[in-house]
Amino acid sequence: MRDSEAKALAFVGSRLVLRETAQGLRLPTLDEVEAAFERERLEVGRVDVRVTLTRRQVHTFCFDDDEPLPAGYRCDGLRVAYHSLADDDFRAAGAARQIIEWRRTTRFCTACASPLVLADAHDALACSSCGRLHFPPISPAVIVLVQRGEQVLLGRSPRFQQGVYSTLAGFVEPGESLEECVHREIFEEVGVRVQRLRYFGSQPHPFPHSLMVGFVADWLEGSIRIDEDEIEDARWFHADDLPVLPHPMSIARALIEDFVRRVG
């Protein structure tokens, strides 16, 4: 039976199509998208991604960057769209975007160089020659709030927007535990040792396919000595005197807000 409230995740390039309504922006329903876009465009754009949204099937479309939008629609990058979307919708959009982008850039088997085709399950791709399955990559990274009493250690990368400081983060290396990664990354980036690691939570980060694993740690010893290849500044900030913080959707922001609540 057709689900009349099924939602549509439609991308124009890397941007998400949103419905403009009197109440603001939201994901369009499948019915709305089918009424607004030409049928043949939808057939070309339809992609088979198994993202579900609170147990509803989501219909996924991907158009070229120059696809014209019908009246009443706009499209935003995911970081901007975050402000318009419910958490579940944003998570589904991130998952779909991650899989679509991986498929777009993963076209040949890494073992035998034959073309890949859609596999029967798990959003995987299968080699058309040797049958090897290829799964969407997920790259675990730790992200760590280091605290010393009412102070927090934040750093900034040259890639950040002006004035923004954030918690320290880095990718897990082969053979490394998450805890070992925390100790190594913190020491490499800012030259301090930490203790008493506490797991905070995790967050999929679809830019392009990270899984951020958040920790809180206490400063143990050492003064800040930055790795200038990685970051351009790092400082201790008092909870009452914080710099510009990272995007509200980020686990970094959640870590910092949690710290402020705990010491406030």
Which residue ranges make up the site for Zn ion (CB under 5 A)?
109, 111-112, 114, 127, 129-130, 132
Query: Cα-flanking dihedrals φ and ψ of residue 263, to 5°?
Result: -95, -10
Residues 6 or more apart from 98 whose CB is under 8 A from it? 136, 204, 206, 208, 209
Nearer to Zn ion, 57 or 110 (CB): 110
What is the C-alpha to C-alpha distance for residues 206 and 45, in angstroms, rounded to an integer?
A: 21
With respect to Zn ion, which residue has the nearer C-beta, 127 or 256?
127
> Cβ 133 to Zn ion, closest distance in Å?
10
Q: Closest separation between CB of residue 125 and Zn ion, Å?
A: 10
Q: How far is the CB of 128 from Zn ion (least distance, A)?
A: 8
Rounded-to-integer distance, Cα 28 and Cα 188, Å: 45
Q: Taking Cα atoms as reference points, which of 158, 150, 146 lies closest to residue 264?
A: 150
Amino acid (one-letter) located at 6: A
**SS3 for 81?**
helix
Nearer to Zn ion, 72 or 137 (CB): 137
* Closest approach of Zn ion to the CB of residue 114, in Å: 5
Give the residue with the Cβ less far from Zn ion, 86 or 130: 130
The identity of residue 171, as a single letter, is: F
When the beta carbons of 111 and 244 are compared against Zn ion, the nearer one is 111
Determine phi and psi for 73, rounding to 5 degrees.
-125, 150
Token output for 197: 């690691």
Q: Do strands 59-63 and 8-12 pair parallel, antiparallel, or not at all (unpaired)? A: parallel
If the CB atoms of residues 109 and 256 are measured against Zn ion, the closer one turns out to be 109
Question: Nearer to Zn ion by C-beta: 132 or 184?
Answer: 132
Q: How far is the CB of 47 from Zn ion (least distance, A)?
A: 22
Least distance in angstroms from the C-beta of 208 to Zn ion: 23
Shortest spacing between CB 251 and Zn ion, in angstroms: 36
Percent composition of the chain: helix, strand, coil (DSSP 3-state, to 5): 25, 35, 40
Burial 35-46 (b: 16+ CB within 10 A, else e): ebbeeeebeebe
User: Which residue matches tokens 């399955």?
Assistant: 133
End-to-end CA distance of the chain: 53
Q: Cβ of residue 127: shortest distance to Zn ion, in angstroms?
A: 3
Asked whether 6 and 29 are in contact (CB, 8 A), the reply is yes
